[in-house]
Structures are given as C-alpha cells and as structure tokens.
C-alpha cells in the first residue's frame, strides 16, 4: 500500500528543529573539544629571527607540532623565506605553552622540503623535557561532507591560545596523492588536520588552483587539506644541517596540458598528457633525447591522467616523488607515433637560497651567484652568466641609482663579471679607488639591458689634530712699535 503524505504544521516543524539542534550541536561540540584536548599538548610555537642585509632582525612566531621522538618539531615551509640563505635565519627556539606558563628552549633548524610543504627544527636545550608527539596516519579516505578539525593560535599577548575549528570537506583534487578542499576557512598553514575520531590525517597545506581556463588562467593560492602521504617520509627522514631537500629532476621548463582539442588534432583518442615547451640544455631530459613539442603521454607505463588543470601538476608530482638516479621510461608522441625514452633522473639544481653571496655595506648592495631557476624563469639560455641582485638597502647609493632586486649585473666599470668571484674582485678593486661613480651594466627582465650609475658619497678624511707641546707656553716676541711718519 503506497504511503500517504502526512501534513505537518509549520509550528510543529519549528518545534522539532529547535528541540533537536542543541543535542546535535552538543555532540559535535564535545567531539571537537576532545580532539582539541588530545592535540594541543603536541602543539608548540616556533620562533626565530631574520637577519636582514640592512641590519634589522624581525622576529617570526608560528604554530608548530611535535611529530617525533627527540622533540622533532614540524611546521609549514611557507614560514621560511625561500630566497634567504640559512645563515640569515637566527636564534631558533621552541616555546611550550601550558596555561599561563611558557617555557622557551633553544632549537636547531634542520631544513625544509618545499614539495612536502614542511620544515623542521629539533629542540637542543638539554633542560627541555620529552614533549608528547602527534602521530599521523596514512590511508584515511575522506568524503564530501566529512567533518575535520583544524587549528590556529592567537598571539603572545593572549598566551598563544590554541583555537580549534570544525570544517567540512567539500571537494577533492586527484593528484598522485589526493588532496581535499573546504569552503570554510582552514587553520594556520602547517597545523594538523584531525578527524572527529582523533586521527591526524594531514596538515593545512597550500595549492595553486586555476579558477579559469587553460587559455586564460586565473591562478589562486588557497589552503587545502594536505594528506599525511605527502610528508610522512620526511618525518621519518628529516633534513639535516639546514639544507633544502632536493627531489628528482627531469630538466624540462615550460609544460602545457593536452587539451581535448589538442588530443583530437593529434588523434590521441582519450589519452592526455603534457606538451614539452623547453628542455634544459645538458639536463636529464635532453640527454635522453626529449625535445620541445614532444607530448609525454605516460610515466613508467602509467598514463598521465586528471582534468586539464591538473595534468601538468600530476606529471611533475610523479617525477618529484621518485629519487635522483632512478631510471624512468617516458612514453611520448612524436611525428604521429609513440615511442619510449628512458631517462635517468638527477637531483634538483642549487636553489637561490643556497647560492653564495657577497655584500657591499658601503654601497648598500647584496648580490648572489646565478642559479638555473633564474635562467629558466626568464627564458634565458643556460650559458647566460652574471650575478643576481639579492637585496638593495633602502636609501642606499644602490637604491638611489635605481638598482633593483633580481637585476642581473653583467659588467662593472666595463669589466665582465660572469661569476660571483669575478664580481667581488672587480667591485672591491673599484671601491678601494673611491670613484665618483660606479657604472653597472645590468639585464632587467628578459631582454632589457640598462646602464646604472651609482653616485658615491665618500666621507672626506679629516685632518688629524696636531700634537700640542707640553709645559708652559713659549714666550711671545714683543711686537715692534710703529714708527712715527716722517713729516
């Protein structure tokens, strides 16, 4: 017998909702409260100072998590300026907050992993007690609508009060490892993401999302749920000595996704992939025979998959998750047919933060050696040389001349300076001459060559005071009296 619809008055429905909501809210509130109580003891505050070239030392304070024995502490790699050398990061400390009490312990900066989006310090103070650490779980799958708890904190005046908020998963982005998206605001980058049953399944990460088309991209950086699979190996094997982790590197520059139209044009059917736009000279890809306009369809026998907006990132993630020295087979489409290329991956080249530097305090200029990423970002040949301006001190001679960060200095006083050692030798020699101006030839952007004249304002040396004779002053000779004029 079919069910008959039952008419219920609006007042009755309102009464049912009012009576049901508090009970549901209490259950969720209790669960969030339990998660907070379980996680907060493993959260700390990491502080450090940035020694800038101009002499200032701003302090940084951020929420972090104890993630391993020996007081291993993890936080977001985004909190460490990617362009600064480790030598300018000073006085790392871990602040443990318990109610109204705070204890601060010296710590050592271990390094960062940009791909995993995590950085690490380890408490070195012998007086520090063993801190409870949070254990992350892998293999936990979330669905749209699932609630998770994320964290943030207030500042020092409010005793770094830890805040917990519940948000719901509203979508997923499939990459080699799935990430999750929420509409609501997540906690601070690098802080734990925990399910209501207490499983720490990831951290708050950052992702670049294209909100428009491939032809007219609209890239935004937004917080996402970064699953533990992305960083769990780094917890087991943290970096050492402040170094950045170097992942496997293929040696390709610009990549574009194979759109539906491109697939139809090349008669690829349902297959997708990435179009190679730039191959780094003497890099692994070039050594293996990869060329511009090749279409990479598969890596290690597995087709590159995903939406058009994800294809390039999926391909790069697949490469980065391998190890330097690994041999991988790329299936490519070239001249109307497929073929396989075997590539031996290498470690990523030196980064800007690892580049050697030189500073002239009198001129207000810091330069560093050029690295491969400088050339790729400007589409310059690998043979391009010079030194890169890392910093220009405000109100300095260099600033007054219009020199800018990221300028590439090619010559000093018409002398070539292809390397940092060359620049230092020539520049030091010119400074010793104390010239009225120092002329630089610089490359700005991709092709804009400019002449920069640095007008100097050397302080004139003062004449040292003459020593005064000791004892009473010598008698002064009497001046002769003027004679009367002859009449």
Region 276-296: what's the mean pLDDT? 94
Region 366-382: what's the mean pLDDT? 91
Q: Cα–Cα distance between 85 and 81 in angstroms, integer?
A: 9
Per-residue pLDDT, 272: 93
Say whether pLDDT at 486 is over 90.
Answer: no
Q: Is residue 368 part of a domain?
A: yes
| Three-state SS annotation for 81-107 | CCCCCHHHEEEEEEEEEECCEEEEEEE
Q: Is residue 130 part of a domain?
A: no
Q: Is residue 282 part of a domain?
A: yes
- State whether 203 and 267 are in the same domain: no
Per-residue pLDDT, 15: 41
| DSSP label at residue 476 | P
DSSP state letters, 185-201: ---STT-EEEETTS-EE
pLDDT single digits (tens) 435-453 = 999 999 999 988 889 999 9
Region 416-444: what's the mean pLDDT? 95
Tokens of 406: 């990221």
The least confident of 123-137, 205-219, 281-295, 376-390 is 205-219
- State whether 225 and 258 are in the same domain: no
Say whether pLDDT at 478 is over 50.
Answer: no
The least confident of 46-50, 390-394, 480-484 is 480-484
- State whether 311 and 260 are in the same domain: yes
- pLDDT > 70 fraction of the chain, expressed in percent and rounded: 88
Rounding to the nearest 10 degrees, give the CA dihedral for residues 27, 30, 31, 35: 170
pLDDT band at 468 (very low <50, low <70, confident <90, very high): low
Per-residue pLDDT, 27: 85
Domain count for the chain, please give it.
3
- State whether 261 and 289 are in the same domain: yes
Of the two residues 27 and 432, the one the predictor is more confident about is: 432
pLDDT single digits (tens) 79-111 = 988 878 899 999 999 999 988 889 999 999 999
Region 252-279: what's the mean pLDDT? 92
Dihedral sign for Cα 334, 338, 339, 345, please.
positive
Q: Are 232 and 178 in contact (CB under 8 A)?
A: no
- State whether 252 and 343 are in the same domain: yes
- State whether 340 and 363 are in the same domain: no
Q: Could you tell me the residue range of the domain that residue 270 belongs to?
A: 248-347
Region 342-350: what's the mean pLDDT? 94
Bridge partners, residue 367, by sequence: 358, 389
- State whether 162 and 208 are in the same domain: yes
- State whether 310 and 391 are in the same domain: no
Per-residue pLDDT, 465: 52
- State whether 343 and 359 are in the same domain: no
Domain-terminating residue out of 347, 371, 387: 347
Residue 417's CATH number: 2.30.42.10
pLDDT band at 117 (very low <50, low <70, confident <90, very high): very high
Region 403-424: what's the mean pLDDT? 96
pLDDT band at 459 (very low <50, low <70, confident <90, very high): confident
Q: Cα–Cα distance between 98 and 59 in angstroms, integer?
A: 22
Domain-terminating residue out of 347, 374, 404: 347
Per-residue pLDDT, 376: 87
Per-residue pLDDT, 460: 56
Region 194-208: what's the mean pLDDT? 93
Q: Is residue 125 part of a domain?
A: no
Q: Cα–Cα distance between 11 and 338 in angstroms, integer?
A: 69
Q: Is residue 76 part of a domain?
A: no
Pairing of strands 118-123, 72-76: antiparallel
Of the two residues 411 and 462, the one the predictor is more confident about is: 411
- State whether 361 and 340 are in the same domain: no
Domain-terminating residue out of 231, 260, 288: 231
Per-residue pLDDT, 175: 64
Per-residue pLDDT, 11: 39
Mean pLDDT of the chain: 87
Q: How many residues does the chain have?
A: 487
Region 66-83: what's the mean pLDDT? 93
Region 320-343: what's the mean pLDDT? 94
pLDDT band at 461 (very low <50, low <70, confident <90, very high): low
Per-residue pLDDT, 185: 87
pTM for this model (two decimals): 0.80
Q: Is residue 112 part of a domain?
A: no
Say whether pLDDT at 485 is over 50.
Answer: no
Tokens of 63: 């929420």
Residues 6+ apart with CB under 8 A from 480: none
- State whether 264 and 337 are in the same domain: yes
Say whether pLDDT at 224 is over 50.
Answer: yes
- State whether 368 and 444 are in the same domain: yes
Region 2-18: what's the mean pLDDT? 38
Q: Is residue 319 part of a domain?
A: yes
Per-residue pLDDT, 334: 95
Q: Is residue 70 part of a domain?
A: no
């Amino acid at each position: 017998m079919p069910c008959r619809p039952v008419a219920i008055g609006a007042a009755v429905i309102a009464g049912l909702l009012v009576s049901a909501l508090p009970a549901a809210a209490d259950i969720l509130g209790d669960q969030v409260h339990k998660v907070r109580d379980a996680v907060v003891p493993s959260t700390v505050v990491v502080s450090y100072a940035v020694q800038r070239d101009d002499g200032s030392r701003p302090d940084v304070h951020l929420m972090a998590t104890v993630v391993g024995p020996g007081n291993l502490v993890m936080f977001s790699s985004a909190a460490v300026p990617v362009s600064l050398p480790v030598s300018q990061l000073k006085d790392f400390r871990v602040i443990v907050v318990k109610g109204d009490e705070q204890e601060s312990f010296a710590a050592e900066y271990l390094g960062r992993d940009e791909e995993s989006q995590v950085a690490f310090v380890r408490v070195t103070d012998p007086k520090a007690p063993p801190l409870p650490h949070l254990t992350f779980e892998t293999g936990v799958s979330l669905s749209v609508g699932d609630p998770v708890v994320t964290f943030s904190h207030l500042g020092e005046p409010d005793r770094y009060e830890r805040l917990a908020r519940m948000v719901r998963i509203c979508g997923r982005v499939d990459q080699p490892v799935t990430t999750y998206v929420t509409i609501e605001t997540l906690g601070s980058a690098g802080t734990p993401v925990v399910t209501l049953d207490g499983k720490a399944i990831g951290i708050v990460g950052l992702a670049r999302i294209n909100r428009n088309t491939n032809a007219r991209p609209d890239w935004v950086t937004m917080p996402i749920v970064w699953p533990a699979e992305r960083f769990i190996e780094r917890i087991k094997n943290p970096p050492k000595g402040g170094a950045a982790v170097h992942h496997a590197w293929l040696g390709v520059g610009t990549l574009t996704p194979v759109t539906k139209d491109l697939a139809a044009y090349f008669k690829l059917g349902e297959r997708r992939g990435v179009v190679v736009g730039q191959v780094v000279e003497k890099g692994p890809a070039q050594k293996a025979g990869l060329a511009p306009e090749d279409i990479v369809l598969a890596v290690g026998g597995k087709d590159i998959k995903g939406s058009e907006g994800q294809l390039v990132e999926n391909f790069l993630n697949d490469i980065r998750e391998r190890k330097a020295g690994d041999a991988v087979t790329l299936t490519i489409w070239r001249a109307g047919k497929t073929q396989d290329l075997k590539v031996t991956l290498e470690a990523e080249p030196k980064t800007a933060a690892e580049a050697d530097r030189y500073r002239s305090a009198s001129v207000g200029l810091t330069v560093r050696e050029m690295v491969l990423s400088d050339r790729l970002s400007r589409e310059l040949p690998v043979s391009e040389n010079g030194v890169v301006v890392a910093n220009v001190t405000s109100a300095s001679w260099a600033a007054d001349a219009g020199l800018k960060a990221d300028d590439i200095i090619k010559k000093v006083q018409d002398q070539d300076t292809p390397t940092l050692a060359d620049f230092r030798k020539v520049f030091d020699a010119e400074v010793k001459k104390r010239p009225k101006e120092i002329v630089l030839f610089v490359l700005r952007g991709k092709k804009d060559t400019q002449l920069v004249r640095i007008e100097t304002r050397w302080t004139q040396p003062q004449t040292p005071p003459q020593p005064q004779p000791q004892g009473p002053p010598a008698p002064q000779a009497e001046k002769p009296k003027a004679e009367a004029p002859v009449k």
